[in-house]
Amino acid sequence: MQRQDFVSATEHIADWIADYWHTLRDRPVRPSTVPGSVSAALPDLPPADTDTIRAVLDDFDRIVAPNLTHWQHPRFFAYFPANVSPASVLADMLIAATGVNAMLWETSPAATELEETMMDWLKTLMDLPPLWHGVIQDTASSATLAAVLMAREKVTDGRAATKGLAGLPPLSVYTTAEAHSSVEKAVRIAGLGSDGLRIVPHDDDFAMRADALAAMIADDRAAGRLPALVVATVGTTGVGACDPVADIADVAGTEGLLLHVDAAWAGTAALCPEFRAPFAGLDRADSYVFNPHKWMGVGFDCSAHFVADRALLTRTFSVNPAYLQTTDGVTNYRDWGVPLGRRMRALKLWFVLRLEGADRLRAMIRDHVAWADWLARLVAEAPDFDLVTGPALSLLSFRFAPGGTDAATADRLTGALLDAVNRDGFTYLTRTLVAGRPVIRFQIGPMTTDWSDVEAAWTRVRTLAADLHPGVAA
């Protein structure tokens, strides 16, 4: 590509992005794409000759853009946010353009040292233990896998990695039914078997019961198992529940288990001192992850993973062929997780923390939490809805239960309402189960959202509910 063609294409793309962000509010959050229609619009074979940039960008506009779900949309209230700030996009351009592989200090000293410094900045901003060591993983799932593998390494004294699990007592990892599915995935990948995941009972607030944890560990030891790790969650995916980290750290400490804390979504709230209570006891965790790529405006992917014992993490992952043996006495992030090749993700954090700034991020979080509170009040006051959980920070859940309907009918209506909302496309919400019954989750997280977007989405939910069930006030 000629220099001038590249420059004019980037100008075109920059305009496209600015227009896209500016017009998001006027679009549906979700497209009404028919399955298979995108692949049908693409040629079966790659082009024989090169295309022009214009042709590729035209096809992007025609085939791709109209069939996107708009995660940056101000009425995207599904799942958790995946916020992309303009600062992060600018950094991503430089990351892509330099194409740096940050696997070793030597393969890009600036990438490694920027990553170390950004992890230290996060510790300062969030009042995390100053002696922790930080690394950017691609996802929280990878950090949780690293924690499970670290625990396996520790309790088997390295034997599981070198000789396999045969002949060892079965290992146990403890978490609750509300933990993210990545915990189960990690246990499976680590070869601990489906019995290796021990589901600890939770209380009425969906928080792990530390007394039940202690009892399960004792029972498992008596049965010849080897308790290895507890995974506590601050801000569960379903309802935003918070396990009691300090009580769990007591049990883990007494029993000699590692403790990993997953705050993939809620971790960003620790930017605000007033939201730090659920993190009490975190200083006694061995491993902690939160996702700047969720609420913090750092585009995919950027998962901040901290460990207390750096040597245990690197021992777990270090394999040392001659071609990777380079400068001594520096951090080589190749040893800190599964992948060897690593993007220079720290640049996104650097840009976001400098250009958006912690104060603006704090203001956004405070707005979202306040709006979730207002919305919860509207839901609680609406005669045909039950507020089921929350708000937990900016996440709440509700059911559509018009007066007099039994639980089974409310289940059906709640499911039908969610389907209607998501078919409609004006807003986008997620289904989950609370105590075995369907609820609709509503999380307020996009950086682009105003209170008027939340209100408009709630009004639309009520209108669609009235369409579904005559007699319900819109």
Q: Which residues bind ligand PLP (CB under 6 A)?
A: 80, 139-141, 180, 182, 233, 236-237, 262, 264-265, 291, 303
Residue among 306, 292, 352 nearest 120 (CA): 306
Local structure of 432: helix, strand or coil: strand
Question: Which is nearer to ligand PLP, 300 or 458 (by Cβ)?
Answer: 300
Residue among 363, 362, 358, 369 nearest 454 (CA): 369
Question: Which is nearer to ligand PLP, 225 or 260 (by Cβ)?
Answer: 260
Question: Which is nearer to ligand PLP, 139 or 332 (by Cβ)?
Answer: 139
Q: Measured from the CB of residue 431, what is the shortest distance to ligand PLP in angstroms? A: 14
Question: Which is nearer to ligand PLP, 139 or 314 (by Cβ)?
Answer: 139
Question: Which is nearer to ligand PLP, 169 or 339 (by Cβ)?
Answer: 339
Question: Which is nearer to ligand PLP, 140 or 257 (by Cβ)?
Answer: 140
Edge-to-edge order in the sheet of strand 395-400: 385-392, 395-400, 437-443, 430-434
Per DSSP (E only), the strands in 138-286 are 171-175, 197-199, 226-233, 258-262
Is-contact 88 352, C-beta < 8 A? Answer: yes
Q: Measured from the CB of residue 420, what is the shortest distance to ligand PLP in angstroms? A: 24
Is-contact 332 103, C-beta < 8 A? Answer: yes
Q: Measured from the CB of residue 392, what is the shortest distance to ligand PLP in angstroms? A: 12
Residue among 33, 23, 31, 32 nearest 74 (CA): 23
Instruction: Give CA 382 to chain center in angstroms.
Output: 31
Question: Which is nearer to ligand PLP, 291 or 397 (by Cβ)?
Answer: 291
Bin 16: left if φ > 0, else alpha if -120 < ψ < 50, else beta. alpha
How far is the CA of 23 from the CAs of 61, 72, 342, in angstroms? Answer: 14, 11, 34
Q: Measured from the CB of residue 182, what is the shortest distance to ligand PLP in angstroms? A: 5
How far is the CA of 141 from the CAs of 147, 175, 328, in angstroms? Answer: 10, 15, 30
Q: Measured from the CB of residue 323, what is the shortest distance to ligand PLP in angstroms? A: 30
Is-contact 204 176, C-beta < 8 A? Answer: no
Q: Measured from the CB of residue 432, what is the shortest distance to ligand PLP in angstroms? A: 11
Q: Measured from the CB of residue 329, what is the shortest distance to ligand PLP in angstroms? A: 32
